Amino acid sequence: MKSGIVSVAVLAIASSASATLVCGWTITTAFPTGAGNVPTGVTYGVGAGDQGALTAGSSLDSVHALAAATYTSPAGNGSQYSFSSNNWSSGDYYQAKFSTLGFTDAITLTWDQARSSTGPAAFEVVFSTDGGTNWNTALASYTVLQSGGGGAPGTWSSTTYNALYTNTLAIAGIENTAEVLVRFRSTVGGGATGSNRIDNVMVYSGAVPTPGALALLGIAGLVGRRRR
């Protein structure tokens, strides 16, 4: 039984061997807090990716129609911080800007996303390769799960990763491109205090393991330690 688990996990390792992290954001720094310091306005960004082969010139921003939008960094999905904002209107979005120059294999995005009980649940993914002049639909619609309460599948925690909040999307036509813009765009509004948060936004070139495969890698390590 032990050898079977290890064999499956080895297959998972092999399937992910060709994947290269092009750019990624794990939100490593807390946003300003305290009276008069919390960021507000129509846009706020966390800057360049904190990991990957091509981080120079990259950025991750949140853009809103309402200047009352507030930006905070609550617990992420298994990481210390996430990128959260409120006062959502239909058409507001998170935008990742990055380059894939030199990477000719298929490009896949993974990201974690959650909402509060009154935060927007309906989103789409669109992308541009010409600086935002023209936009293409990569994913017509997806549902953002609530974090905590209301029968939601667990609350986001800085110490526990929940794969149910992870999205994976392959986007054709953005390989070997100097500048790619990807927007995770709300198609509905939300209450004034309704929030939506994003975390662990990753851009990969090549085959990407599913969250289940990543879990198997952990099992393989555990079994290996027990056998030793």
Regarding the domain delimited by 19-207, which CATH topology (the fold level of the hierarchy) does it fall under? Jelly Rolls (2.60.120)
For residue 149, the model assigns a pLDDT of: 79
Q: Say how many CA atoms lie within 13 Å of 155 toward its Cβ.
A: 8
Overall average pLDDT of the 186-206 stretch: 95
The predicted structure's pLDDT at residue 191: 81
pLDDT reported for residue 210: 62
Q: How far apart are CA 144 and CA 122, in angstroms?
A: 6
pLDDT above 50 (res 222): no
Domain ranges for the chain: 1-16+209-228, 19-207
Average model confidence (pLDDT) across the chain: 87
Q: What would the mean pLDDT of 26-54 be, rounded to a whole number?
A: 97
Residue pLDDT, tens place only, 100-115 = 999 999 999 999 999 9
Is beta strand 136-143 parallel, antiparallel or unpaired with respect to 122-128? antiparallel
